Protein backbone atom coordinates (compact mmCIF):
# COMPACT_ATOMS: atom_id res chain seq x y z
CA UNK A 1 0.00 0.00 0.00
CA UNK A 2 1.32 3.41 -0.93
CA UNK A 3 1.98 6.09 1.65
CA UNK A 4 1.63 8.72 -1.11
CA UNK A 5 -1.56 10.10 -2.69
CA UNK A 6 -2.84 8.17 -5.70
CA UNK A 7 -3.99 10.13 -8.74
CA UNK A 8 -6.97 8.17 -10.01
CA UNK A 9 -6.86 9.76 -13.47
CA UNK A 10 -3.20 8.76 -13.85
CA UNK A 11 -4.01 5.26 -12.55
CA UNK A 12 -6.84 4.92 -15.09
CA UNK A 13 -4.45 6.10 -17.81
CA UNK A 14 -2.04 3.28 -16.96
CA UNK A 15 -4.19 0.53 -18.52
CA UNK A 16 -6.69 -0.01 -21.34
CA UNK A 17 -8.27 -3.39 -20.57
CA UNK A 18 -12.04 -3.32 -20.05
CA UNK A 19 -13.77 -5.16 -17.19
CA UNK A 20 -10.37 -5.88 -15.65
CA UNK A 21 -10.21 -4.09 -12.26
CA UNK A 22 -6.99 -2.70 -10.81
CA UNK A 23 -6.40 -2.50 -7.06
CA UNK A 24 -5.33 1.05 -6.20
CA UNK A 25 -5.17 0.62 -2.42
CA UNK A 26 -6.68 -1.27 0.51
CA UNK A 27 -8.79 -0.14 3.44
CA UNK A 28 -8.74 -2.69 6.25
CA UNK A 29 -9.75 -5.95 4.53
CA UNK A 30 -11.23 -4.22 1.46
CA UNK A 31 -9.75 -3.53 -1.97
CA UNK A 32 -10.36 -0.18 -3.61
CA UNK A 33 -10.55 -1.11 -7.29
CA UNK A 34 -10.86 0.95 -10.44
CA UNK A 35 -11.99 -0.30 -13.82
CA UNK A 36 -12.79 0.85 -17.31
CA UNK A 37 -16.02 -0.63 -18.62
CA UNK A 38 -17.97 -0.69 -21.87
CA UNK A 39 -20.67 -3.03 -23.11
CA UNK A 40 -22.16 -5.63 -20.79
CA UNK A 41 -20.77 -7.64 -17.90
CA UNK A 42 -22.27 -10.99 -16.83
CA UNK A 43 -25.20 -11.55 -14.48
CA UNK A 44 -23.73 -12.62 -11.15
CA UNK A 45 -24.12 -12.22 -7.40
CA UNK A 46 -21.92 -12.07 -4.32
CA UNK A 47 -23.48 -14.17 -1.56
CA UNK A 48 -21.30 -12.82 1.26
CA UNK A 49 -20.76 -9.16 0.51
CA UNK A 50 -22.34 -5.96 -0.75
CA UNK A 51 -20.68 -4.22 -3.72
CA UNK A 52 -20.07 -0.46 -3.79
CA UNK A 53 -19.88 1.43 -7.11
CA UNK A 54 -18.79 5.04 -7.73
CA UNK A 55 -18.87 6.37 -11.30
CA UNK A 56 -15.79 8.49 -12.00
CA UNK A 57 -16.49 9.16 -15.70
CA UNK A 58 -19.30 8.29 -18.08
CA UNK A 59 -22.50 6.52 -17.10
CA UNK A 60 -23.04 3.05 -15.64
CA UNK A 61 -26.22 1.01 -15.64
CA UNK A 62 -26.75 -1.88 -13.27
CA UNK A 63 -29.43 -4.45 -13.95
CA UNK A 64 -30.77 -5.97 -10.73
CA UNK A 65 -32.75 -9.16 -10.16
CA UNK A 66 -34.21 -10.21 -6.83
CA UNK A 67 -37.40 -11.61 -5.34
CA UNK A 68 -39.29 -8.41 -6.23
CA UNK A 69 -38.38 -8.63 -9.93
CA UNK A 70 -35.97 -7.00 -12.32
CA UNK A 71 -35.01 -3.34 -12.66
CA UNK A 72 -32.18 -1.10 -13.85
CA UNK A 73 -30.49 1.69 -11.92
CA UNK A 74 -28.61 4.36 -13.87
CA UNK A 75 -25.58 6.03 -12.33
CA UNK A 76 -24.29 9.21 -13.96
CA UNK A 77 -20.82 10.56 -13.19
CA UNK A 78 -20.35 11.18 -9.47
CA UNK A 79 -23.11 8.76 -8.39
CA UNK A 80 -22.74 5.89 -5.95
CA UNK A 81 -24.80 2.74 -5.53
CA UNK A 82 -24.52 -0.37 -3.36
CA UNK A 83 -25.70 -3.73 -4.65
CA UNK A 84 -26.80 -5.72 -1.58
CA UNK A 85 -25.24 -9.12 -0.99
CA UNK A 86 -27.04 -11.95 -2.75
CA UNK A 87 -28.72 -9.71 -5.35
CA UNK A 88 -28.05 -10.80 -8.91
CA UNK A 89 -26.72 -7.89 -10.96
CA UNK A 90 -25.19 -7.02 -14.34
CA UNK A 91 -23.25 -3.78 -14.80
CA UNK A 92 -23.21 -2.27 -18.30
CA UNK A 93 -22.22 0.92 -20.06
CA UNK A 94 -23.27 1.83 -23.57
CA UNK A 95 -20.85 4.75 -23.97
CA UNK A 96 -18.12 3.53 -21.62
CA UNK A 97 -17.34 4.51 -18.05
CA UNK A 98 -14.62 4.52 -15.41
CA UNK A 99 -15.69 3.22 -12.01
CA UNK A 100 -14.36 2.72 -8.49
CA UNK A 101 -15.49 -0.22 -6.36
CA UNK A 102 -15.04 -1.39 -2.76
CA UNK A 103 -14.97 -5.15 -2.28
CA UNK A 104 -13.46 -7.47 0.34
CA UNK A 105 -9.95 -8.52 -0.66
CA UNK A 106 -10.09 -11.74 -2.67
CA UNK A 107 -13.63 -11.20 -3.99
CA UNK A 108 -14.04 -12.43 -7.56
CA UNK A 109 -15.44 -9.81 -9.92
CA UNK A 110 -17.71 -12.45 -11.45
CA UNK A 111 -19.04 -13.56 -8.06
CA UNK A 112 -20.75 -16.93 -8.27
CA UNK A 113 -20.45 -17.02 -12.07
CA UNK A 114 -17.58 -19.32 -13.03
CA UNK A 115 -18.72 -20.76 -16.36
CA UNK A 116 -19.45 -19.24 -19.74
CA UNK A 117 -17.54 -16.03 -19.06
CA UNK A 118 -17.42 -14.04 -22.33
CA UNK A 119 -13.99 -13.37 -23.83
CA UNK A 120 -14.22 -9.62 -23.17
CA UNK A 121 -14.33 -10.22 -19.39
CA UNK A 122 -11.40 -11.19 -17.21
CA UNK A 123 -12.46 -13.22 -14.16
CA UNK A 124 -10.18 -11.89 -11.40
CA UNK A 125 -9.86 -10.88 -7.78
CA UNK A 126 -8.19 -7.69 -9.05
CA UNK A 127 -4.88 -6.90 -10.72
CA UNK A 128 -2.11 -4.88 -9.12
CA UNK A 129 -1.87 -1.35 -10.40
CA UNK A 130 1.33 -0.96 -12.45
pLDDT in tens, 57-83: 999 999 999 889 999 999 999 999 999
Please give the distance of CA 66 from its chain centroid, rounded to a whole number: 19
Q: What is the pTM of this model?
A: 0.92
Calculate the CA dihedral of residues 97, 117, 44, 48 and round it to 10 degrees: -100
Q: DSSP of 62-123, one letter per residue?
A: EEEEETTEEEEEEEETT-EEEEPTT-EEEEEEEEEEEEEEEEETT--TTTT--SS--TT---
Write the CATH number of the domain with boundaries 8-114.
Answer: 2.60.120.10
Q: Is the pLDDT of residue 31 over 90?
A: yes
Average pLDDT value for residue range 101-110: 90
Amino acid sequence: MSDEPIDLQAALGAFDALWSPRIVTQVNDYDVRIAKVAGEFVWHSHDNTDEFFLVLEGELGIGLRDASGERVVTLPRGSVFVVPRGVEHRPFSTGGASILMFEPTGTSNVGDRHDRIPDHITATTGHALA
